[in-house]
Amino acid sequence: MRLEVRNAQTPIERKPEWIRTKAKMGPEYQALQSLVKGEGLHTVCQEAGCPNIYECWEDREATFLIGGSQCTRRCDFCQIDTGKPADYDTDEPRRVADSVRRMQLRYATVTCVARDDLPDGGAWLNAETIRQIHAVNPGTGVELLATDFNGEPRLLDEVFAARPEVFAHNVETVPRIFKRIRPAFRYERSLDVLTQARAAGLITKSNLILGMGEEPEEVIQALQDQHEAGTDIITITQYLRPSPRHLPVARWVKPDEFVAFKQEAERIGFLGVLAGPLVRSSYRAGRLWAQSMVAKGREIPAHLSHLADTELGFAQAV
């Protein structure tokens, strides 16, 4: 039986009462919404219906998906379609950089579908998008959420050379269920990608999704693994099933458990930790980067000093 058919035999789960978006449409959000709608701009934030859009946009942070809408890999939790990707669009980096300019973003996260159909796996596209955003928007921080590029140092080095403020590669789950949920990835290879990024002098980041069948002690071990691999920042979130075709939710992680995992991650030694059912890896990414820079004893560049303002906090985190 095909995986999607088997998954669909389990109805979509009802969310518990503690999973509720704290929506507040402030003036910055409303201005950005009008601009995006009026000028036909595209972000992952609105197209994926992210629950944190109100808070992130109020802080002038947004996420862009590059490389097309079709991914060459299939993860059982991810809502991005798997299939034959669109033709390579070499003008996309310029357009994304221009969108960042028009939106006057303080921090931009860029993520890319896996492009195993390309000789370089999309390394140039990722690197050039970072370069273009920095060139056009010198006051904007850039975070790249990348695939593993099959762990090839040559391709990773091309991306690292573009010097994003943060290089993120999400491990997502624990070793025991990793292959079943992320069949095109390898747990140890993902850890090695983070190690290579750290060796290149970049701030590194990863994510763990809970509620996919892992045990609490496995979460602690995965946190240890990622920290030992060189991960600076970790986000911990609840799996929310995108459709009946996707992996059923194994359990709903309670708020006090997120508090415990956050405390454990801090004890392990991560520089920045955000945990909560509606936290996502790009949630308040600029503020989390600035917090991590301070913890690392690094100076925040003057043109990005605005990201160190801690007044607004993190509404969706425990």
Sequence ranges of the binding site for [4Fe-4S] cluster: 45, 50, 56, 71, 75, 78, 282
Backbone Cα Rg of the chain: 18
Cα separation, 292 vs 204, whole angstroms: 10
Angle value at C-alpha 114, between 113 and 116, nearest 5 degrees = 145
Q: Is residue 308 classed exposed, middle or buried when 0-12, 13-18 and 19+ CB atoms within 10 A define those classes? A: middle
Integer Cα distance of 287 and 302 in angstroms: 15
The type of residue at 63 is T
Q: Which residues are annotated as a binding site?
A: 45, 50, 56, 71, 75, 78, 282
Name the burial class of residue 247, with classes exposed (0-12), middle (13-18) and buried (19+) by CB atoms within 10 angstroms of its CB. buried
Instruction: Say which residues have a Cβ less than 8 Å from residue 100's Cβ, sequence separation at least 6.
Output: 62, 64, 108, 133, 136, 137, 140
Residue of 8, 104, 14 lying closest to 60 (CA atoms): 104
